[in-house]
Every structure is written in C-alpha cells, then in structure tokens.
Structure 1
Amino acid sequence: MNIKIREKQFEGKSIDLAFDEAVKYYDASPEEIGFEVIQQPKKGFLGIGNKLAIINAFLNEKYLMNRLNEFLCSLLEHFDGDFDYSINFQGKNILVRLEGDGLGKLIGKYGRTIGAMQHILSIYINRLSSTKIDVNLDVGEYRRKKKEKIYEIVDNAIKRLNDENERIELAPMFSYERRIVHEYVRRNYSHIMTESIGLEPYRKVVIKLTKSHIKA
C-alpha cells in the first residue's frame, strides 16, 4: 500500500537533516513519515555551486494505522466487554477484526451498531487521507455470516423473477450490504441487473431482468 498524505518538500545540508525538518513539521514519529529524494546534496568549489538536499516527505500508512488504532480504542471504551482487535491494510482497504466477550453489543440489533461504527471509522480515516480508503469492520465473523445470508436472499429473489415479475425490491440495506449484492449478482448472474434506489437510511437494491431476457 503506497499512501502519501500531506506531501511537502524539505531542504537540508544532508538527507538526514532534511528528514529532521519533516519530522518537526509533521510532529509525527520517524516511522510514520516516508520520503523520496528529489535532489542529493552537493558541495561546490570554494562554496560556489553548493546544492542542498531536497526530499518529498509525506505521512504514510503507519501514521494512518496508529491514528486509527487510537481512535478505535477511544470508541471501544464506551462498550462493556473484553475486546481484541487487529488492523490490516489490503491495497486501499483496511480490514478491522474484533474478537472477545460482549460482541453482541458491538454488533447491535440487525447489525446496526457494527454498520454505524464502520461508517464512523471510514469517515475518520478518509479525513486524514487524500486517497480514498475503504474500511471493513468484522466482529466475530459477523460479516462473513451476514454475507452468506445476503447471498441466500439474492438467490431466492432471483428465483422469483419472471416475465410478469420483472423486478424485485430488496429491503433497505447499509451501503456495504448493497455493495455485496451488486458484486454477487455481477459475478454470478449475467442476465440480471441491479441498481440502488431511495435515500439513506432507506436506500435499497432493485434486482431486475436485463432487457434481452424480457419477452416483447
């Protein structure tokens, strides 16, 4: 994952000194800052033609991971339970897994709490990053089980499609659930189309036959 946040050029008599300026400017640990060398320092003759070192420094994914870790800790303090979690980068995606006791409170009725928490984490991390990042939160494998349930709902809905019943509206879903529907149908049903309609929090997916499969 190559994320660059708040890029800025810094100068110094050496690469190390230029990097020290970047550390002071960002007020971050050295591990949270990446850089690229724009210009190597050069000593001229009798002080003529001297060149400073120039680097392009930026906050990296380590910075994002540390900030997200701190933010997630502050959120979990509002829930009773003993939780363990891991944060992993996968391309431009962040996967957060939560395990432990008291997971039911984190999931919430119909998964509303986990959906809201994922939304909050996504807003937080994307305010820090200039690169769009998707955050996926899974609590006790709830997401995997939820995904299997969504597949079942979609399969059953598609079985009911026919010439008289050309479209079926699913119940309102969170955005990540709608994305699962769209991707699943695109992968497995070439003759089926999907689209999202309505306004949050009542936005839903419509499943319908393609025009080529509707009899004239």
Structure 2
Amino acid sequence: MTKRVFTGKSVEEAVRRGLDQLGVTQDRVKITVLEQPKKALLGLIGGKDAEVELEIIEIPIVDAADPVEQTIDYLADLLRAMGVDAQISHRTDDEGHAVLEVSGKELGIIIGRRGQTLDALQLLLNAHANRYSEDHIRIILDAEQFRERRKKTLEDLSLRLANQVVRTRKEVVLEPMTAQERRIIHFQLQNHPKVQTYSKGEEPNRRIVITLKQ
C-alpha cells in the first residue's frame, strides 16, 4: 500500500503535486491533511507549507475471466434499483460485440425518449466491463429489439428526406442525434446518386445535414 507525503503553498497545490508524481487521479487516493499552511509573520518568518499524505487505494482484484457475466450481474442490479422486472439474455454479434438483450413488461423506463436512457445505461455498462479488463470490450445494450426498430426508422426517414431534398432542391437539417444514429443515416445515404450527408455542430447537439451533391 503506497503512502507518500507532499507539500505545497496550499492543500490543493500539495494534492495536485502528489497526484502528478504518483500518476493517479484523485478518486484513486485517500487524502489526509497533516498540516495546514501558515502565513509567514510579516511576510518574512514563520511561514509553513501545507502537508498532505496521499495513500493509493488498492483496487480489489476481480475475477475477470468473464467480464461480460460480471456486467450482466451489474445490469441486473441496476434494473432492480430502477424497479424493473426483466430478464437478460446474452449473445455475440457478427463483429464480436457482446449484446445484452433485456426483455420484460413496461421497459419504456429503461429505453427513454428515442433511446436516451438506453444509451446512458450502455455507457455505464461499457465503463464497468472495461474497468478490470486488459482487452477492450464493447457492450451493446438493447431492450425489446429497440435498436433494430430504431435503425429501420432512421433508414426509412433518411430515404424520405433524401427524396424531399431532390424534389425541393433545399437541404434538410435533422435534429441532434447520437454518433451511432448519425452513422446509420450516413451509411444509408452514402451511395445515393443525388444527395450527400455531413455532420455539423458540437456534441451533444451535433446534427446531420442532407444536401444535393455538387
């Protein structure tokens, strides 16, 4: 267990120095303030730097033989905390990604508006799965095949809007979408003979623009 003492003009400076030297983030250490800084008398004598002790928190070694199974357990805990009674199944897709399928009644609470809650949960699951794994793991979370239905909706929408752009000769700017949803539309229209797509704006308000090819 690593413990080291660091000093600085303030407690914050001492902590910052310690984190830099230890090469860790603040959530990985226990901080004990040993000495508060003291101002020098008349600015000349008696001054003292702050002194802190940083102790690296050891992360418990977790059996990572099957991080996907651990992530399924984590998802089950999240669902229980949300009051959702559901079943979780697991499969591997064609690209080798782990797909966790949630089935049950009234799953709207974990899908959210246009899948926003589902995306947030998926982000949590990916962070959990990769916390102790040396190899990167990609987790895809789905509920009642929402992602496939959403993909079909976006593909149909992109074709309708492409036809609109051709007919009116005016570009169309879509509402903000996630990177995953933008990729669906870009891919669907990438070989369209008359329109092209590009993204503009900053996350989370990045949008797709469909316009006539030059």
Quickly name the TM-score band, shorter chain normalised.
0.5 to 0.7
Change beyond 3 A, Cα 1:151–1:105: same
User: Is the 2:165–2:195 Cα contact (8 Å) retained in structure 1?
Assistant: no
Change beyond 3 A, Cα 1:27–1:199: closer
Residue in 2 that maps onto 1:135: 139
Residue in 1 that maps onto 2:200: 197
TM-superposed deviation, 1:140: 1.0
**Is 1:88–2:91 an aligned residue pair?**
yes
- Counterpart CA distance in 1 for 2:205 and 2:192 is 25
Alignment of 1:124-203 (within 5 A): 124-162=128-166, 165=169, 167-186=171-190, 189-203=192-206
- Counterpart CA distance in 2 for 1:133 and 1:191 is 38
Change beyond 3 A, Cα 1:108–1:209: same
Aligned amino acid, residue 177 of structure 2: M
What are the ranges of 5 or more consecutive residues in structure 2 without an aligned counterpart?
A: 1-60
User: Is the 1:167–1:208 Cα contact (8 Å) retained in structure 2?
Assistant: yes
Residue by residue, what CA displacement relative to the aligned partner does 1:49-88 show, whole Å, maximum 9, x if unpaired? xxxxxxxxxxxxxx22122112212211222232001122
- Counterpart CA distance in 2 for 1:192 and 1:65 is 41
**Is 1:28–2:32 an aligned residue pair?**
no
Deviates more, 1:129-138 or 1:69-78: 129-138
Residue in 2 that maps onto 1:73: 76
User: Is the 2:161–2:172 Cα contact (8 Å) retained in structure 1?
Assistant: yes
What percentage of residue pairs aligned between the two structures are identical? 27
**Is 1:107–2:111 an aligned residue pair?**
yes
TM-superposed deviation, 1:168: 2.0
- Counterpart CA distance in 2 for 1:122 and 1:177 is 18
How many correspondences in the alignment? 154
What are the ranges of 5 or more consecutive residues in structure 1 without an aligned counterpart?
A: 1-25, 33-62, 212-216
Residue in 2 that maps onto 1:207: 210
Residue in 2 that maps onto 1:50: none
Residue by residue, what CA displacement relative to the aligned partner does 1:138-182 show, whole Å, maximum 9, x if unpaired? 111222221121112111110122497353211111222112112
Aligned amino acid, residue 142 of structure 2: D
Q: Which has the larger radius of gyration?
A: 2
TM-superposed deviation, 1:27: 5.7
Aligned amino acid, residue 28 of structure 1: D
Alignment of 1:44-63 (within 5 A): 63=66
Change beyond 3 A, Cα 1:132–1:28: closer
Higher relative contact order (CA 8 A, sep 6+): 1
TM-score normalised over the length of structure 1: 0.61
Aligned amino acid, residue 88 of structure 1: R
Change beyond 3 A, Cα 1:164–1:107: closer
